[in-house]
Amino acid sequence: MKKKLSRSAKRKLARQKQYKREQIEKFGNDNAKYTAKNLIRQSSRIGFSKKEMKRKNPDHFGIHSKATYKKTMGEVGRFTQFVKEEFGINRLNQFRQEHAEAYLDAKERQGLTKGSLQNVETALIHLSKAMERDEKFGELPSLMPDHRRYTSQSAHEEIERKPRAYQVEEAREIIQRLEEKGQETAASAAYLSMVSGLRAEEVCKIERRHFERHEDHYKIRITRDDPSYVTKGNRYREVRIDAEHTSRLDDLLGGLDERERVIPLESLQLAKMVAAVKQEYDIAWPIMAMHGFRHLFARMRFQDEINHSPEHLDVMNRILDNLFEGKRADAGFSTAEKELYEETKAAMDRVHDELGHGQNRFDLAMRYLDVK
């Protein structure tokens, strides 16, 4: 026999049904995974300058990196699936902070590194912000708290002082060994990275049209929002390649169509080929296969920018010593040394500009310009 509900129970059930009707009317079907991914999709600003949009609107939110967008979409899908399985909730409008916290707890138990946990948290923050800016979901309680759970360490704690760049002789030997094995394309890719500072992914995407031939040298110029999406974040890049490399670049680029890739390899395939040669001939094994060429370019270009001045080099080393000790970059510099300090910093910024980095990036100098 069906139990008769009390008057108060009937009122409660009626309120629940009414609330459900209102939610359906407002949010529609609201399949959590579909809706969440759609919100992330709407927040994509790939191809637009983050700096410019921030300048116009300090509160601007959007995902500008293809890699970040891809990672966020994947993590959001896993998060919504987790909430569905653990809490039986499949409507995004019912997601709350407790569900996000439970997901992060579960990731911790899986043994993820701090860096990976930061990436997971970032994806959830992107979803939270996308919900906050949506007309329907903006009225709901925030999915994520105001403060991050996994904060970054300061640069001097996070960045290990270790060899990152090949010596010139090591780089040349790797290129020579690749040529001896008949892997000419990989050798050209390594050479191009060494003389231009391009990342492996950029080397494998750059096209003939990005190279400008001047009287005695080449210049790489990649415009912002380039359709080939060569650079990280699709940023503008301009790099001068020294005249001594002109002859080899003439050979490499000769006969290519304007839209043809200079290096017809995938970046992972390229890195594996370089790593195999390094391992076989025991060449600078701790250094990353392709990134070691980029670091070498940075250090050689910095020496060029300071005209191989021992005084400026000493200033750079003092700056880096300060940073690795957790001090200000200019700690210990006298007023009389201010001009020398500013000249050295300007050289650092010019190198970072060619690498595709921003200004005042002392944290990156700790990685790229530790020339001791």
Digit-coded pLDDT (tens) for 322-367: 999 999 999 999 999 999 999 999 999 999 999 998 888 999 999 9
Beta carbons of 371 and 317 less than 8 angstroms apart: yes
Distances in whole angstroms, Cα of residue 356 to Cα of each of 50, 238, 239, 266: 14, 8, 9, 21
Q: Which range (19-23, 164-168, 200-204, 286-290) has the least confidence?
A: 19-23
Listed ranges 104-113, 133-142, 158-167, 303-312; the one with the highest mean pLDDT: 303-312
**Arithmetic mean of pLDDT, 161-182:** 96
pLDDT (0 to 100) of residue 297: 98
**Arithmetic mean of pLDDT, 113-127:** 91
pLDDT band at 30 (very low <50, low <70, confident <90, very high): low
pLDDT band at 99 (very low <50, low <70, confident <90, very high): very high
The rounded percent of the chain whose pLDDT value lies above 90 is 66
Cα–Cα distance measured from residue 64 to residue 68, given in angstroms and rounded to the nearest whole number: 8
Cα–Cα distance measured from residue 167 to residue 181, given in angstroms and rounded to the nearest whole number: 22
pLDDT band at 19 (very low <50, low <70, confident <90, very high): low
pLDDT (0 to 100) of residue 100: 93
Which three-class secondary structure string do you get for the chain? Answer: CCCCCCHHHHHHHHHHHHHHHHHHHHHCCCEHHHHHHHHHHHCECCCCCHHHHHHHCCCCCCECCHHHHHHHHHHHHHHHHHHHHHHCCCEHHHCCHHHHHHHHHHHHHCCCCHHHHHHHHHHHHHHHHHHHCCCCHHHCCCCCCCCCCCCCCCHHHHCCCCCCCCCHHHHHHHHHHHHHCCCHHHHHHHHHHHHHCCCHHHHCCCEHHHEEECCCCEEEEECCCCCCCCCHHHCCEEEEECHHHHHHHHHHHCCCCCCCECCCCCHHHHHHHHHHHHHHHCCCCCCCCCHHHHHHHHHHHHHHHCCCCHHHHHHHHHHHHHHHCCCCCCCCCCHHHHHHHHHHHHHHHHHHHHHCCCCCCHHHHHHHCCCC
Cα–Cα distance measured from residue 288 to residue 294, given in angstroms and rounded to the nearest whole number: 10
**Arithmetic mean of pLDDT, 91-103:** 91
pLDDT (0 to 100) of residue 93: 87
Q: How many CB atoms lie within 10 A of CB 283?
A: 19
Flag whether pLDDT at 1 surpasses 80. Answer: no
Cα–Cα distance measured from residue 354 to residue 247, given in angstroms and rounded to the nearest whole number: 22
pLDDT (0 to 100) of residue 214: 95
Cα–Cα distance measured from residue 175 to residue 171, given in angstroms and rounded to the nearest whole number: 6
pLDDT (0 to 100) of residue 5: 66
Flag whether pLDDT at 26 surpasses 80. Answer: no
**Arithmetic mean of pLDDT, 19-45:** 74
Q: Token pair for residue 93?
A: 């409008």
Phi and psi angles of residue 204, each rounded to the nearest 5 degrees, phi first: -85, -10
Q: Which range (17-26, 202-211, 311-320) has the least confidence?
A: 17-26
pLDDT (0 to 100) of residue 27: 47
Strands of the 211-213 sheet, one edge to the other: 211-213, 218-222, 237-241
**Arithmetic mean of pLDDT, 195-199:** 97
Cα–Cα distance measured from residue 157 to residue 325, given in angstroms and rounded to the nearest whole number: 9
Average pLDDT, the chain: 90
pLDDT band at 136 (very low <50, low <70, confident <90, very high): confident
Flag whether pLDDT at 22 surpasses 60. Answer: no
The rounded percent of the chain whose pLDDT value lies above 70 is 93
